[in-house]
Amino acid sequence: MMDPFLDTGALARLLAAGEATSRDLTRAALHRAEALSHLAAFLHLDPEGAMDSAAESDRRRSRGEARGPLDGVPVALKDNLVTRGLPTTCASRILAGWIPPYDGTAVSRLKAAGAVVLGKTNLDEFAMGSSTENSAFGPTRNPWDTGRVPGGSSGGSVAAVAAGIVPLALGSETGGSVRQPAALCGVLGLKPTYGRISRSGLVAFASSLDQIGPISRDVEGMAWVLGAIAGPDPLDSTSAPAAVPDYAAGLDAGVAGLRVGLPREYFAEGLDPATRARVETVAEALRDAGATLVDVSLPSSPLGIAAYYVIAPAEASSNLARFDGVRYGPRARDPVDLEDLYVRTRSEGFGDEVKRRIVLGTFVLSAGYQEAYYLKAMAVRRAISADFEAAFSRVDVLLTPTTPGPAFPIGERAGDPLAMYLSDVYTVSVNLAGLPGISVPAGLVDGLPVGAQLIGRAFEEATLLRVAAALERAMPWRDLRPDVAGGGGAA
């Protein structure tokens, strides 16, 4: 029986050597997804479509026409990525039953690389949350401890990778929604530079912050996925015209001579001491590999959460206005007039967290309050970007914790929005500045994973992947896996 925790590189080599077929891998992934359905990682599986895609991949490979290392590899997609012929609900009742007639750009590029789409994964409704508890279809559970959250909002995609269902998945980021759950589930999660990956087909939350990001068990697989889906797109005016390098080419370059900054604000009060110790171990591994550690400051970072929770809800308020019972999904029954249709459809269709953010965003944009809140938040955003620019004049990458501590129990923060929002205290500034960031596994705290975050200059994802690859060689990531069948704990 094949090890379900084989990473993308290992699976690609098995396929290339003819030691496994895509149908073998896809059938095993579907079986494991069903066996681990209690994790609620998936909202929709597509067994027939996945097996058809796998069979086509095998036919291509038999003709010597494989499209690259991802051809035939099973992947999962967060359910806010528009996918032709499959439900795209954003884990919301307001989009129940909507099946798009087209693929988003990232999805179509992943399919063009030959990847086999297994299904759509659970998330916080409209990607608004840090725990995947806000889904209208129930929470996803952390494979390391099913009584705990996997993080969010890309919790379903991350849980699917961490549990050994798929080696790769796509999530999305607005304030940490790939990196934070990746840290809490012990896998790799990348937030690319704003504009590196087209947002066409990503259901909008906050358009100046949103980015699609890959989740993986290995750096090589992440490099392949990023190379496949990155690049300019005429369907997205915010996609950058920057060239896409061969991300896999430099993974063996090492970190000798690299300057790694440790921002003091990220190691202050609020960070779990055991998590800090794990991140410091990562710093020591980089130093042992030849990097130089440099103390730096990002003085505006503590204001990031406050600024984010003004800017993101403001944009969400505008973006979610389109869900009105006219154009998408179900509508309220027997409305007496148009206003009644809007009010009841949105009241019945949206969950509490989405409503909270719409109300907050509408308030900060309203007459008399825009200058007091929104414009000040934008000023903080500029200050955060300036801090990063100053730091990168001295260092090549930054190293920080990804989260303040390990995963918390399901329900523990459900009634305390502020405590929930602080789960992203180390990740939101990267989104506000539009920079790339990656969470790498940093080990276990009380049997639960925590992560270390690497932050880079704009469009220097290759440097982040190079550093992540050096850490992958230096630290025993592949030896850490959840005992999913046993209900949690390291195997």
Q: Cα–Cα distance between 450 and 427 in angstroms, integer?
A: 14
Which residues, in sequence order, are bridge partners of residue 168? 75, 216
pLDDT recorded at residue 453: 98
User: What is the reported pLDDT for 488?
Assistant: 45
Is 153 noted as a catalytic residue in this protein? Answer: yes
Mean pLDDT of 393-407: 98
Tell me what pLDDT residue 485 has: 67
Model pLDDT for residues 428-470, shown as the tens digit of each residue? 999 999 999 999 999 999 999 999 999 999 999 999 999 999 9
Cα–Cα distance, 462 to 357 (Å, whole number): 35
pLDDT digits (tens, 9 = 90+) for 120-178: 999 999 999 999 999 999 999 999 999 999 999 999 999 999 999 999 999 999 999 99
Chain-wide mean pLDDT for the chain? 96
Q: What is the mean pLDDT of residues 224-231?
A: 98
Q: Is the pLDDT of residue 409 over 90?
A: yes
- In this predicted structure, what is the pLDDT of residue 316? 97
pLDDT value, residue 43: 98
Q: Using CB atoms within 10 Å of the CB of residue 352, give its burial: 0 to 12 exposed, 13 to 18 middle, 19+ buried.
A: exposed
Beta bridge partners of 188: 216
Indicate which residue of 53, 154, 177, 200 is catalytic.
Answer: 177
Give 251-294 pLDDT, tens digit per residue: 999 999 999 999 999 999 999 999 999 999 999 999 999 999 99
Nearest to 153 by CA among 175, 132, 122: 132
Torsion angles phi and psi, residue 225, rounded to 5: -65, -45
Q: Which of 22, 53, 92, 153 is catalytic?
A: 153
Angle at 179 between CA 176 and CA 182, to 5 degrees: 135
* Beta strand spans in 395-446 (E): 397-401, 437-445
Q: Among the options 22, 78, 92, 198, which is catalytic?
A: 78
Residue 487 has pLDDT above 80, yes or no: no
Element holding 263 (H helix, E strand): strand 259-263
Task: Enumerate the domain spans of the chain.
Answer: 8-253+461-479
Residue 486 has pLDDT above 50, yes or no: no
DSSP sequence for 357-399: HHHHHHHHTSTTTIIIIIHHHHHHHHHHHHHHHHHTTT-SEEE
Structure confidence at residue 319 (pLDDT) = 96
Q: How far is CA 50 from the centre of its chain?
A: 22
Whether pLDDT at 192 is above 80: yes
What was the pLDDT predicted at 484? 87
Please report, for the chain, how many H helices and E strands are present, in that order: 15, 11
Residue 184 has pLDDT above 50, yes or no: yes
Q: What is the pLDDT of residue 489?
A: 46
Contact 454, 397 (CB under 8 A): yes
Q: Give yes or no for residue 235 having a pLDDT over 80.
A: yes
DSSP state of 440: E
Which architecture characterizes domain 8-253+461-479 according to CATH? Alpha-Beta Complex (3.90)
The reply to whether 376 belongs to the active site is no
pLDDT value for 415: 87
CA-nearest of 227, 160, 162 to 188 is 162
- The angle formed by the CA atoms of residues 157, 162 and 168, to the nearest 5 degrees, is 55
Mean pLDDT within 49-53: 98
Q: What is the end-to-end Cα distance of the chain in Å, rounded?
A: 17
pLDDT tens-digit profile of 335-367? Answer: 999 999 999 999 999 999 999 999 999 999 998
Residue 236: which residues within 8 A CB-CB, separation 6 or more? 105, 198, 199, 200
The pLDDT value recorded for residue 367 is 84
pLDDT at 328: 76
For 459, the 3-state DSSP assignment is coil
pLDDT of residue 165: 98
**What percent of the chain is predicted at pLDDT more than 90?**
92
Where does 250-326 have alpha helices with state H? Answer: 273-288, 304-319
Given a cut of 80, is residue 205 above it in pLDDT? yes
pLDDT of residue 371: 85
